[in-house]
Structure 1
Amino acid sequence: MMKPMLAALGATALAFGPGAAAAQDYPERPVEFIVPWGPGGGSDTLMRIVANHAEEHFGQPLAVINMPGVGGTVGLVELSRRDADGYTISQIHEGLLVASKTGLTDLNWDSFEPVALMTSSPQYFVVNADSPWQTFEEFAAYVKENPGEVRVGVTLGGVPHLHAAMIEEAAGIEFSYVGYEGTGERIRALVGGNLDAAIGDVSSSLQFVENGDLRFLATGAGERLSQTPDVPTFKELGHDLELTITRGIVMPKGSPQEAIDTLEAALEQTAQDEEFVQQINNAGAEVDFRAEEAYEGYLENLDATILRLVSRLEG
């Protein structure tokens, strides 16, 4: 009788002891946070704010490492190869879904475990302040008369490319595209006079607008923003466009649910932190926390939307 009883107790310990202890102990060490874009752009700025504030609620540092390249997919390929143990995370936005639909990568949002959506960033159409265009209407009129002449900086096959193509379609105009890896890179090129216009955001562009180097012509926000009250929305200008980039956190496929739940809870607490919200707003974005299930639903709907719109990138 004693041996079967001991065997049963041993099985119970294996089932509930070490596993439960491991779950309770998570996180035991710092988590590597891969940001698949270069320094200085919107993703880098916002995710460093997330990492800095989440540490207090998570109990371990989220160590940010930039891994840019190939439209944001290099870092995500690296994430897909990491152990699914909860100790490597990354950030995705609409760019991954666009890259998947355009054949740039075999990865998609469901190649990973979504944890939570954290921020959304309205996009802007930006020109050099030395350009003759004071309004988007003036710009569109010029481009309509000179199709393919104006050089617009985007991430080719990425969300900025999609957004610019949506502007082309809505306004009945045609751009010449120049590709850059990240927002910061193309905005610096615009400041340097190597482009005529670009898709940008507040975090990468507002300082140059305030310095008199660049000019915002329109925003893809749903309504005018407090940081740029004089910049009209595309909707105000008669174009049914709402252009934004959302940023969320993912883990490798198969990561422990306990790890996902623990990080999700820490991120939710972070999203309620007033100082965090203020810093995100100061960086030109909004806190838009959505927990795992809601975030998955958002990504599913977004995937269908991009599939419907991606044909506008052809040609």
Structure 2
Amino acid sequence: MMRSKTSLALLLAATSLAGAGTALAESAYPDEPVEFIVPWSPGGGSDTLMRVVANHAEAHLEQPLPVINMPGVSGTTGLKELSRRDADGYTIGQVHEGLLVAHHTGLTPLNYDDFEPVAAVTQSPQYLTVPADAPYETFGEFVDYAQDNPGEVRFGVTLGGVPHIHAAMMEEAEDLQFRYVGFEGTGPRVRALVGGHIDAAIGDVSSAGEFVKNGDLRFLAVGSAERQSETPEVPTFAELGHPELKLNIIRGILAPAGTPEERIATLASALEAMTQDEGFADAIHNAGASVAFKGPQAFGEYLETSDATIERLSGKLAR
């Protein structure tokens, strides 16, 4: 009888130790680098901002977040790769509204709900951007020129992406017709604009601001609710009579479907702590964006609401 009780005690002790070991192993997450897929080319707005995120998040996650650029097919190539990765919390990916547009225009079967939302981290007002030597210096002059020359304005966009839908919104607002030229990401699009290969594009301060300061490009209007402190001379579309032209990009982070909730929570907690750092906010501001943290639930709700809006507008991109 005594031997039986002793055996039972040893079994219970072993089970308890095993459970403690499992808990300890789980609490150690992450114990190796977390790969960060950015599905856009180097030099664009997403790449610039997500490298700031990766650099500052490391101190809070206590592991490096090496950035891996995987551009292609309007930002869907990298997210397709993300969907194939193990759901273990060791691979995350950057997303913005472009995935929703790509889904509703048939570029990818993937959508936001094929992943686990982790957090939104930044927002970037978008600008109508043109070469500094273009024959139009204001939004009104640009509209007049485009109306007088239908189909001749070469407008650089990410085909089936957010810039495409933003440009289509302008077409609808002013009864214009652009000739679209596709680029993978903001960086190549802005460089083509500087080189005179296209006539207009959607840009932001992080990717085009230095070219504006150098006198190569000009911002004609911004899609934020108010003028931006970095560009106080640039009017909003609302000021120019188009309050419906709200052009903004929210950049956030997803994980593969099935990633454990506790690991999502760990990632989100580290990112939230990061966004409260003054140094991070300054770095994001200097890159032409602002901090806009949303946790897993709030970010998921934002994506759901945006998806419904983009589904309604995506038909404009069919031609």
Query: Deviation digits for residues 78-137 of structure 1, max 9, x if unmatched?
Result: 111111111111100001111111111111111111111000000000111111101011
1:59 aligns with 62
Shift of 1:142: 1.3
Partner residue in 1 for 2:238:
235
Per-residue deviation, residues 159-191 of structure 1 (Å, max 9, x unmatched) = 000100011111111100000001010110011
Deviations 1:34-70 (CA, angstroms, capped at 9, x unpaired): 1111100000000000011111111111111111111
Q: How far did 1:9 drift?
A: 5.4
The aligned residue for residue 38 of structure 1 is 41
Is residue 45 of structure 2 the alignment partner of residue 76 of structure 1?
A: no
Q: What one-letter code is carried by the residue in structure 2 that aligns with 1:47?
A: M
Q: Aligned partners of 1:277 and 1:113: how far apart in 2?
A: 25
SS at match of 2:88: coil
Aligned with residue 142 of structure 2, among 134, 139, 150: 139
The equivalent position to 2:300 in structure 1, one of 291, 296, 301, is 296
**Residue 6 of structure 1: CA displacement?**
5.3
Instruction: Give the partner amino acid of 1:310.
Output: S
Aligned to 1:226: 229
* Seq. identity, %: 63
| Partner residue, 2:266 | 262
* Number of the residue aligned with 1:87: 90
Task: Tell me the residue number matched to 1:171.
Answer: 174
Q: Establish whether residue 253 from structure 1 lines up as the match of residue 249 from structure 2.
A: no
- Asked if residue 110 in structure 1 is aligned to residue 113 in structure 2, the reply is yes
The Cα of 1:17 is off from its aligned counterpart by 3.0
Query: How far did residue 19 of structure 1 move?
Result: 3.2
Distance in 2 separating the partners of 1:102 and 1:13: 53
Residue equivalent to 1:192: 195
1:221 Cα deviation from its structure 2 partner: 1.0
Shift in Å, 1:18: 3.9
| Structure 1 position 150 matched with structure 2 position 181 | no
Distance in 2 separating the partners of 1:238 and 1:189: 29
Paired with 2:8 and 2:82, the residues of 1 have a C-alpha distance of 44
For residues 311 and 22 of structure 1, the distance between their equivalents in structure 2, rounded to whole angstroms, comes to: 49
Instruction: Report the Cα offset of residue 22 of structure 1.
Output: 2.2
2:285 corresponding residue in structure 1: 281
- AA aligned to 2:272 is E
CA–CA separation in structure 1 for the residues paired with 2:79 and 2:264: 18
**Higher CA-based Rg:** 2
Q: How far, CA to CA, are the matches of 1:87 and 1:133 in structure 2?
A: 49
5+ residue gaps, structure 1: none
* Regions of 4+ moved over 2 Å: 1-14, 16-19
- In structure 2, stretches of 5+ residues that fail to align are none
- Whole-angstrom distance in 1 between the partners of 2:40 and 2:177: 28
How big is the alpha-carbon RMSD for the aligned residues of Structure 1 and Structure 2?
1.3
**2 CA distance for matches of 1:144 and 1:22?**
64
TM-score normalised per structure 2: 0.95
SS in 2 for 1:28: coil
2:223 is matched by which residue type in structure 1? G
Counterpart-to-counterpart distance in 1, 2:70 and 2:312 = 30
Identify the match of residue 128 of structure 1 among 122, 128, 131.
131
What amino acid maps onto 1:34 in structure 2? I
**Partner of residue 47, structure 1:** 50
How many residues are matched?
Answer: 314
Q: Does 1:272 align with 2:276?
A: yes
Distance in 2, matches of 1:227 and 1:205, equals 12
1-structure distance, mates of 2:187, 2:274: 26
Distance in 2 separating the partners of 1:19 and 1:42: 41
SS class of match (1:17): helix
Distance 2:145 2:10 in 1: 84
TM-score using structure 1 length: 0.96
